[in-house]
Amino acid sequence: MPDIFLSYSRTDLSVAARMAAALKAAGHDVWWDQALKSGEVYDQVTEAALREAKVVVVLWSKTSVVSDWVRSEATVAMQRGALMPAMIEDCQRPVMFELRQSADLLGWKGNAKDPRLLAFVAEVTRQLARPVAAKAGPVPATASMKGPNRRVLIGGAAGVAALAAGGFAGWRAFGGQADDGTASVAVLPFANLSGDPGQAFFSDGIAEELRNALSQIRGLKVIGGVSSEKFRNADDLPAVAEKLGVDHILTGSVRRSLTTIRIGAQLVDGRTGVESWSHSYDQPIGDALAIQSKIATSVVGALSTRLAKAAGLVVVGGSRNPRAQELLLKAGKAFSSADSKAGFLATLALLDAAIAIDPDCAVAWAGAAFAKSNLVAFATSAADQAVLKDEAMAASQRAVAIAPESGFARQSLAFQYLTAVDLRRALAEGERAIALAPADVGVIFGFTQLLQLFDPDRAVSIIREAASLDPFNPYYYFTYGKTLYAARRYREAAEASRHASALSNNQLGIFFLIRALLCMDDIESARANLGNIQQEQMRLSYKAIIEARAGNRAASDAALLQLRKRGDDSINTYMATVHAQRGETAAALDALETALRSKEVGITFIAIDPLFDPISRESRFKAVRDAVVPPDLFVPPKRR
C-alpha cells in the first residue's frame, strides 16, 4: 500500500490535488480516492489503504469537519498514531482532534513553494522515515471491554459511577506535553518474564506503583496508566513518546521465582531512543517494595537536570506489608476487568484479605468501598442495597481516618456522599481530594463529575486541562462529553461522546450522545443509537422519549408500559425524565419526589439536565432541585 493516505472533503478537491502533487514530488506514494481503479470496491479499497498507510494526512476545512467520512478516517488515524492534520481553512475542529497539533496552511491555495507547505512535507517525510515496528501501534481500546460494564451503571444513574471506575486506580497520575521546561515520562507495562501468565498482575502492578511514586515529584509529569497500557510491547519508543507527548519512556521486565525477584528497568530518551539509565535488581521475594522505591528514586535522579528539586526516597505502595501489597496489586487487576457480581466479589475478597493482614492500609479500605458501591447494582432488595451503601460509607470513612492526606481516600468518601445524595459533603470531600492529588487522573475525573453538578462551566475548564494527560482513555472523553452536556454545549458533547463510544466498544458515551442529540432535535440520529444501549430500563426510557418527540405516541406508550412492568423501584428518575418529555408534568413531579425520598443517585443530575426544562419552572420541581443541590453552591452554565 502507499505510504500516505489523504483525507479531505470533496469541496476541497483542488487543494487536495495540489497536496497530493506536493507529497508525490517529495518522492512519496500517495493514496486518495482519485487513485481508485475501475472495478475496485470503494469501501474495501479505501479502508485497506487507511489502515495500512504509515501516515494519514487530513485536511481540515469548514466542510471536512462536518464530514462523517473525514471524521471517521481521522479517528482511525489517531487511534493508529498515524494522524498528521493540516488546517487549510479557519474552522472549529471536532473536539477530539483539539488534542493534536495541526499544521497551519490557512489560506493555502496550492503554492508549491509556500514555506509552510515545505515544512509540512518535511515533517511528513521525517515521520515516514521512522522505523516501523509491528508492535508499535496502540492496542485497540475495545480489546479489554467485553460486555456491559456495570461500573458505569451503578445506582441507576448513567455514568455517575465513573468516579469509581476511574477511582480504584486512584493512585495513577498523569502528564502532558513536555513543552514547559518540565520533565515528562510514560511508564509502559513491564514485561512478565516469569513464564507464568498468572504473574502478570505483579509486573503490571510494578509499573502502576512506579507511576504513582513518580507522580509525587513536583515538576515531573507522568502519563496515566490507561494510555500507557495501549503501547504494551511497543518497540519504537520514540514513536510512542511522540504519541504520548513525553520526553522519556520507562520500560522494564520482571522475572519472579519462588525465592527471588529480578526487576530490570530502562529509562529511554523519547527523542533519540538512547538509553539514559538502566539497572537490574535481584532481591528476596519479600523486597518488591524496596526495589520499586530504588527504581523510582533512580529515575528521579536521572531526570534531575530537568527538575528543580529531585526527591530522595520516593514512597511506593499502598501497604508496607509485602503480602498485603501483593493482594492490592491482584485486586487492582481484578477490578479493572470486573463487569459482573462475581468480579466485584472477587475484588472485594482480595481487599478484605489485604485488610486482614494490614488493617491500617487506607488504599485497601477505599478500594473496598468502591467494590461495595458497585455491588449495590446487583443487590436484589432495597434492604441489601442499604446495607452495602452503609458498609461502603464506613469503609471510606475508615480510609480517610487512616490517611486524611490521601486524595484517593477523599475521593472514595466523596463518591459515597454522592450516592447518599448528600451533595454538600460530596463537593467538600471532592475539593479536598483534588487539592491533595491535583496530578491524579482518577481524582480529576471524579472531581469533574462532582463539580459538573454545581458549576458545569468550571468543570469543563478542568477536564479540558486534562486533555493531553491520558489521551487514549475513553473515560476522559466520557467525562468530557457528560460535562459539556451539563454546560449545554450539545454539539461538542455529542462529538466527545461519540469518541468515548468508539474507544470503548459502545460502552461509554452512548447515554449522553443520545441526550445531546435530543437537545439538538436530531431525533433520527438519537433513534439510530438506541441499539447500542445494553441496559434495558435505560433503553426503554430513551425510546419512550424519542418516539414521543417524533410524534409516535403509540410507540412511546408501549415503551413506557414496558418500563413500568419491570417493577424496578430505583428508576423513578428515569420515569420523571420520560414524563417531563411527554408533557406529563404531574406524573414527572410525583416520580421526582419519590426519587428524592428513596435517595436515588440519578436525581443528583436534576439541576443541570436540560431534559427537565419542560417542568423546571414548577414550584415542586424547584423544591426537589434545591433539596438535592444546595442553591448557594449552584452556578448555572452561561448562555451560549
The span from the CA of 224 to the CA of 472, in Å, is 9
Please state, for a pLDDT cut of 70, what percent of the chain lies above it. 81
What is the arithmetic mean of pLDDT over 289-307? Answer: 60
pLDDT score recorded for residue 165: 34
pLDDT score recorded for residue 176: 30
pLDDT score recorded for residue 395: 94
The span from the CA of 59 to the CA of 74, in Å, is 10
Between helices 13-25 and 115-129, what is the axis angle to 10°?
60
pLDDT score recorded for residue 553: 94
Where does the pLDDT of residue 593 fall: very low under 50, low under 70, confident under 90, or very high at 90 and above? very high
The span from the CA of 537 to the CA of 535, in Å, is 6
The yes-or-no verdict on residue 451 having pLDDT over 90 is yes
Q: What is the mean pLDDT of the chain?
A: 79
Burial of 218 (0-12, 13-18, 19+ CB in 10 A): exposed
- The domains located in the chain, with CATH, are 4-129 (3.40.50.10140), 173-317 (3.40.50.10610), 452-633 (1.25.40.10)
pLDDT tens by residue, 544-591: 999 999 999 999 999 999 988 876 667 889 899 999 999 999 999 999
Q: How far is CA 117 from the centre of its chain?
A: 35
The yes-or-no verdict on residue 99 having pLDDT over 80 is no
Q: For residues 49 and 432, which has the higher predicted lDDT (pLDDT)? A: 432
Quickly list DSSP for 210-247.
HHHHHTTSTTEEE--HHHHHTTTT-S-HHHHHHHHT-S
The span from the CA of 473 to the CA of 222, in Å, is 14
pLDDT score recorded for residue 96: 63
The span from the CA of 183 to the CA of 300, in Å, is 10
Q: Are 317 and 305 in contact (CB under 8 A)?
A: no
pLDDT tens by residue, 604-640: 999 999 999 999 999 999 999 999 999 999 999 886 5
The yes-or-no verdict on residue 354 having pLDDT over 80 is yes
Per-residue cell: 480: 468530557
The yes-or-no verdict on residue 537 having pLDDT over 80 is yes
The span from the CA of 265 to the CA of 341, in Å, is 37
Q: For residues 296 and 324, which has the higher predicted lDDT (pLDDT)? A: 324
Burial of 196 (0-12, 13-18, 19+ CB in 10 A): exposed
Helix runs in 26-179, H state only: 42-52, 68-80, 115-129, 162-167
Helix (H) or strand (E) holding 401: helix 382-402
The span from the CA of 80 to the CA of 55, in Å, is 9
Q: Are 445 and 169 in contact (CB under 8 A)?
A: no
The span from the CA of 67 to the CA of 94, in Å, is 10
Residue with the three cell numbers 483525507:
7
The yes-or-no verdict on residue 35 having pLDDT over 60 is no
Q: Are 44 and 70 in contact (CB under 8 A)?
A: no
Residues in contact with 445: Cβ distance below 8 Å, sequence separation at least 6, in sequence order = 162, 163, 166, 167, 463, 466, 475, 476, 479
pLDDT score recorded for residue 242: 86
The span from the CA of 76 to the CA of 507, in Å, is 18
Q: Which of 109-113, 453-457, 524-528 has the lowest mean pLDDT?
A: 109-113
Give the type of residue at 513: L
What is the arithmetic mean of pLDDT over 14-29? Answer: 90
pLDDT tens by residue, 239-290: 888 888 888 888 888 887 777 777 778 888 888 888 777 777 776 766 566 6
Q: For residues 555 and 163, which has the higher predicted lDDT (pLDDT)? A: 555
The span from the CA of 38 to the CA of 53, in Å, is 21
Q: For residues 511 and 34, which has the higher predicted lDDT (pLDDT)? A: 511
Where does the pLDDT of residue 303 fall: very low under 50, low under 70, confident under 90, or very high at 90 and above? low
Give the type of residue at 87: M
Where does the pLDDT of residue 488 fall: very low under 50, low under 70, confident under 90, or very high at 90 and above? very high
Q: How far is CA 489 from CA 95, 421, 549, in A?
A: 11, 26, 21
Q: For residues 377 and 570, which has the higher predicted lDDT (pLDDT)? A: 377
Please state, for a pLDDT cut of 90, what percent of the chain lies above it. 30
Taking the CB of residue 381, how many other CB atoms lie within 10 A of it? Answer: 9
